[in-house]
Structure 1
Amino acid sequence: MEYPLHLMAEVKEKNKFHQLEGFLSGKGPTNAPLMLVGEAPGKTEIITKVPFSGQAGKELDNELAKVSLSREDLYITSVVRSRPYRIKKRINKKTGYIEESRPNRTPTKAEVKAFAPLIDFEIQTIQPNIIAPMGNVALKRLLGNQYTVSNYHGQILTQPIYQISEDRSIYEKTDESYTIFPIYHPAAILYNRSLKEVITEDWYALFQLVKEYN
């Protein structure tokens, strides 16, 4: 998706002092009935320019295949569009030199807020029938800090969502209601294999919900 230049300039200015790398646009048809909302791109996504093209993407594709969905059927985006990283330094015991790495990290609330105009623009433009926030960062951005994926995954929630105010100072609830279906982030299964069955069940329920709108 192409974003208004003034929004891009605003987001770039607000993030200039944050430890962020690259930029990844949302991908998918602009008339998609389903919007998947992730957390932020990782190293692989910044290189390939494809959302969820790393390890988590493989898990996402597996779940989509199980329910006969493909990426062409949906729009994929994230609440933060650049890769958040932290600087990690260590001394190489063999060489004695200091080595620096930049692993991924969870985006801060300030970073999520700085990118808020872009996800708001996407939702207003696409008007998806269903929004599926994947993981806590996306869910909290849309519905508030009291919501967690562990408590609300697999549930159909029809209610207003949060969008950034015109002066960018606070989040405000939308006048209209949206159908929200929280699911675990695809990467969750990489750290907790016991979630595999639950995640698959949620995807089947999401697929049935998508079919109801077709």
Structure 2
Amino acid sequence: MIQAKEPPPDLGDLLRFYADAGVDEALDEIAPNRFQANATKNVPAPAVERIASPAADSTPRAEEGFRDERYAAAPDAPASGRPQVAAVPDGAQAALAREAANRAGSLAELKEAMAAFDGCNLKFTAKNLVFADGNPEADLMLVGEAPGRDEDLEGLPFVGRSGQLLDRMLAAIGYDRSSVYIANVIPWRPPGNRDPSPMETEICRPFIERQIELANPKVMITLGNPSSKLLLKTQTGIMRLRGNWGTYRTQSGAEIATMPTFHPAYLLRNPAHKKLAWRDFLEVKAKLKGLA
């Protein structure tokens, strides 16, 4: 029996594929023609032109789409007609983030500083700054890695499917969003829900460190591998790290008991490990009760 061939995917299928992959917005209003730009860039100047003008190879051409890296930073002839801004190295951006974070004397000031900070490229593809949710005076703080699509749309951490699971986990030990404080290491959603790069994480690190210091919780839960490794300064994986108390030290020297555990998104994919996260949350509950 000959099976009928499936029709080739159409534009709608392609758009649905990108939507499922998390690509839900365009970076430019008009799609650029990469083929035309590359073709224009790679076509050498005619031999006659080079002979007639010996300086032709040392002078940038003005044809639309041509780009020579030697003249990309020329201050007197910006290609777009807009004033060019010198790029600041990522290491310097991390230092600027540290200065901005240290100047903040309250969580409200820190949020304003983060909203005004333009040193992280993730800000320009995200819809909203995802600062925090819950009670900033709570004894328990939870820190994840980065916002997802739902969080980016609402400007709040953990509001999607993983957030719903986190709410149930908190309820199981007698807590809710009014009795905990929730934040992320990265306050802007990476495009397509990709992993933040090490430099993006390093640029955002001063903000979450200052946020923890200002909130000053008694106990902290780090959700997932990236936030646990970053805040506990370890290379140990979450499978070995979880369930064991660590200590987070603020810049002022305060020590916060920290329990690393699985991220709710991981538990949605691996429900068999929910029992391990349940044990971790029971440890947190007992620790808070002992500190009361």
For the aligned pair, the TM-score class normalised by the smaller chain equals: 0.7 to 0.9
Which structure: greater strand fraction? 1
Partner of 1:195: 273
Contact 2:134 2:177 in 1 (8 A): yes
Quote the sequence identity (%): 29
Answer whether contact 1:154 1:183 (CA < 8 A) is retained.
Answer: yes
| Residue equivalent to 1:168 | none
Which of these residues, 91, 109, 129, is aligned with residue 218 of structure 2? 129
* Distance in 1 of aligned mates of 2:165 and 2:138: 21
The answer on whether the counterparts of 1:2 and 1:25 sit within 8 Å (CA) in structure 2 is no
Number of residue pairs matched by the alignment: 184
Of Structure 1 and Structure 2, the greater helix share is in 2
Amino acid at match of 2:243: G
Aligned to 1:181: 259
Stretches of structure 1 lacking an aligned partner (at least 5 in a row): 86-102, 164-173
Match of 1:151 in 2: 240
Residue type matched to 1:134 in 2?
A: L
**Equivalent of 1:70, from 150, 156, 176?**
176
Q: Distance in 1 between matches of 2:183 and 2:226?
A: 13
Letter aligned with residue 162 of structure 2: A
Please say if 1:13 is aligned against 2:118.
yes
Shift of 1:77: 0.2
Q: 1:33 to 1:56 in 2, by over 3 A?
A: same
**Distance in structure 1 (CA, Å) of the matches to 2:211 and 2:166:** 21
Deviation of the 1:105 alpha carbon? 1.5
Higher relative contact order (CA 8 A, sep 6+): 1
| Whole-angstrom distance in 2 between the partners of 1:55 and 1:146 | 28
AA at the equivalent of 2:134: G
Which stretch of the first structure deviates more once superposed, 152-161 or 121-130?
A: 152-161
CA contact (8 A) 2:259 2:280 kept: no
Partner of 1:170: none
Determine if contact 1:7/1:117 at 8 Å carries over to the other structure: no
Distance 1:117 1:3, change over 3 A: farther
Matched letter for residue 245 of structure 2 = I
Deviates more, 1:68-77 or 1:111-120: 111-120
- The two structures, once aligned, show a CA RMSD in angstroms of 2.1
Q: Which has the larger radius of gyration?
A: 2
**Cα distance in 1 between the residues matched to 2:168 and 2:136:** 23
TM-score by length of 1: 0.78
Instruction: Tell me which moved more, 125-134 or 25-34.
Output: 25-34
Pairs within 5 Å for 1:5-44: 5-9=112-116, 12-16=117-121, 20-21=125-126, 22-44=128-150
Q: Which moved more, 1:37-46 or 1:16-25?
A: 16-25
CA distance in 2, matches of 1:135, 1:184: 5
Q: Any stretches of 5+ residues in structure 2 without a counterpart?
A: 1-106
Tell me which residue corresponds to 2:203.
114
What SS does the aligned partner of 1:83 have? coil
The amino acid that maps onto 2:146 is A
**Superposition map of 1:27-106 within 5 A:** 27-85=133-191, 103-106=192-195
Query: How much has 1:20 moved relative to structure 2?
Result: 4.1
Q: Deviations over 1:102-132 (max 9, x none)?
A: x311211111111122212211111111111
Aligned mate of 1:206, from 251, 269, 284: 284
1:139 equivalent to 2:228? Answer yes
Could you tell me the TM-score, scaled by structure 2's length?
Answer: 0.58
Name which of structure 1's ranges 201-210 and 68-77 shifts more when overlaid on structure 2.
201-210
